[in-house]
Chain A
């Protein structure tokens, strides 16, 4: 197993290099640059000075090699578009904690509630509970979260006037932010959680329903096992494989934030930079974030593969013990 993990991590490294090269070329090919700002545009001298200052006057290949050299030391360069031009690493370290915090709450809510709703719906197929879960899932998947956010803000933030109107400005817990279970997190987390909750509920319902109809469950019932024992030992364990395949990749998305959630609720997190850095042509930030996400996704798929082997003994790491 250790050798497998090491091989996968080495492969991940090369994937990240390939991704960085692709994104580097693409972002430089997009029309417009970080200094296509203002109404009159820049004079040629001013543009030349800016390009020199930010190292954009060098050939593309040189810039990429410089970037790669820095990236190996976790130095992605300095942001073009954040106050004071701080290093990208610093921006990520400062803003990611609050995104992680909201993301962890979102995962807890969406996976917890989604699993529960899915299991209940599978057990009570075609009942009103099942219909309610299906309706919630459909709404969660079809309604974009910026629409949900706006409505929730209108109804709860504005019309009901819940508490201090500035509560939507959320600093991280460990920087004097609101309490662990503060209402301040309620609207952002609900908004953010609705789509993954819907996905979790749908897949759980489907996987559990399939497992419930399987022969081994009938056998277990015939052996006189209780419902809870059947659920824990047989149904959930077997339902896990398809659920892991679909649900685990949701985690990198949720832990890296969302532009809409963060901008609408004023959360000072990392998520907005995934979009604004592209619009602002903040090249170092784009590269830093792309590598962060690529690493996260690679890691998630590695964890997914390892989990397969833990949950289902029939699944074996390639090259070991397969028949």
Chain B
């Protein structure tokens, strides 16, 4: 009898012990808790409704969900569906400060020739493999390997030791300046002091070294082989049709998501996003996919307008530029005349809309490091039609006579943005009495012409936004090896020297300011507008991400990827007709 009781008690104990062990593994998910066992915020909708959906572009070229494989061909590239399968080493906070990502700390060596990143302990991949510095080393070696033909190699050319040589096939990928000293210590060796290096590693979540070796880089596209050390893991993927990611139960990083799933669905992103948003099919629309007519609808609707959240985005500036190596734009007075003939204020007020841009008189947008916050550069290219006419006359074209007809080439701009440049051409044309036609070219053809040497884009318009938060990035576009046919040895010297200056941030900033002044004075470009970007969010999307920054702006913006750990769907969703039913 006792023996029987003992067996039963033993079995019961075993069952209880198993349950005790199993519950934490399963996340001990309660009534309205996430898979990590955390209570959702008090105003959150049920966990089953914690789904966030974005609209991807059916017409894009796209091959991967990882920025390590390609930047220009990322799946759902205009959304945040990609790069959720890991954490980059660092990330930006809402005030643009670098904060820990997968790395809990980082520091430069005393000689400034290397950076050491310490990974947070305890981070794991979804298959149980620990996330180690070797995964980052494998990912950077993958990118630099000529056989993989990575498209964004410029990011570390001249920065990471032996990077350029490896891209050119002169040394092996194993010889680049990255070393996994131990599981949690990654050292990056540089070509010289590179104070901006931590800022350049903020959007490259790693691939897993083991999966990369076993399955190749496309392991991220197959739920059967995909592993994740990030907040989400791949659940379903059909190319050009659907991406479904679910919260990664093993994730132990800094941005555990409240969201249960993220979905990417496909459609007419440019023309169909706002309709899909109104239809409750998607939860966010980027400003680039909202037409002027849609903005009128938004402005007239108190709920929509309250949920359009402007932000500085990637500090994008739209500008006109020249081939300064050939006539007539090799003449500084011609360029100055064009610059002073552009009535930016009127264009911003009447065409662009003052809520969508600030008239630009320099390249770096307000708020960007080393930008002209004081407006000291404004008088240089300020609108002054009489002065512009005088400059053109001095250049040999009084009242525009004899000036060759020009074609302003655009880079496949949307209808509404093309209007910005048509108005710019009209402003210059009317003031100077010169003939300017506008040609909105196809993107690839424009880029090929821009980068050709000699360039085939004599007079063009384009925009640029940051890749990382340092003037070396934005101003690097204008060095003589950059994309424009404009050259200033003084400018090159200042930018190149500032790029490697450590220990004296004030001097470094001033060098960039001096360089930008040269760019504005020599009219490498005519700066039209600093864009005010934004996203339209469904009213039931909430999260710490929307807390105001020091300027009082509460919005998701480029680089603050910690936000994806904060977003959740509020119970207000029940008042709307959405795909959640």
Contact = CB atoms under 8 A, between A and B. Distances in A.
Interface of A: 30-43, 45-46, 49-50, 52-54, 80-86, 91, 95, 150, 153-154, 157-158, 161, 164-166, 168-169, 171, 259, 262-264, 266, 268, 272, 275-276, 279-282
B241 A171 contact: yes
B64 to A, nearest CB: 7
A84 B242 contact: no
B75 A53 contact: no
Contact of A266 (B75, B265, B280): B265
Contact of A52 (B146, B157, B482): B146
Given A42-B151, A49-B167, A53-B149, A280 B447 contact: no
B153 A43 contact: yes
A45 B239 contact: no
B445 A30 contact: yes
B63 A84 contact: yes
A45 B152 CA distance: 11
A42 to B, nearest CB: 6
Interface in B63-105: 63-65, 71-73, 75
B61 interface: yes
A153 B275 contact: yes
Interface stretch (B254-262, B328-336, B448-456): B448-456
A46 B464 contact: no
B483 interface: yes
A150 B331 CA distance: 50
A45 B168 contact: yes
A37 B464 CA distance: 14
A37 B72 contact: yes
A85 B63 contact: yes
B149 A50 contact: yes
A266 B58 CA distance: 8
Given A158-B275, A272-B58, A41 B450 contact: yes
A38 B72 contact: yes
Given A32-B443, A37-B72, A268 B154 contact: no
Interface in B514-538: none
Contacts of B449: 31
A contacts with B: majority SS: loop
B579 interface: yes
A52 B483 contact: no
B46 to A, nearest CB: 19
Interface string B259-295: 0000001111001100110111100000000000000
A166 B579 contact: yes
A262 to B, nearest CB: 7
Interface of B: 58-65, 71-73, 75, 146-154, 157, 164, 167-168, 218, 221, 237-242, 265-268, 271-272, 275-276, 278-281, 442-451, 462-465, 477, 482-483, 577-579, 581
Given A36-B443, A38-B72, A46-B150, A169 B240 contact: no
A36 B265 contact: no
Contacts of B167: 43, 45-46, 49
Given A264-B267, A266-B266, 19 more contacts: A32-B442, A40-B477, A45-B153, A46-B152, A46-B167, A50-B149, A50-B151, A53-B148, A84-B63, A84-B221, A85-B63, A91-B239, A165-B578, A166-B265, A166-B579, A169-B265, A268-B240, A272-B58, A276-B61
A36 B447 contact: yes
A142 to B, nearest CB: 21
Identify which of A169, A266, A281 gathers the most chain B CB atoms within 10 Å of its CB.
Answer: A266
A220 B168 CA distance: 83
A46 B462 CA distance: 23
Contacts of A153: 275
Contacts of A264: 267-268, 272
**A-B CB proximity, top 7 nearest:** A32-B444, A81-B61, A36-B444, A268-B241, A53-B149, A31-B445, A280-B61
B294 to A, nearest CB: 13
Contact of B242 (A50, A53, A169, A281): A169
A36 B445 contact: yes
Contacts of A85: 63, 218
Contacts of A42: 151, 154
A275 B268 CA distance: 14
Contacts of B71: 38
A82 B60 CA distance: 9
Contact of A165 (B153, B280, B447): B280
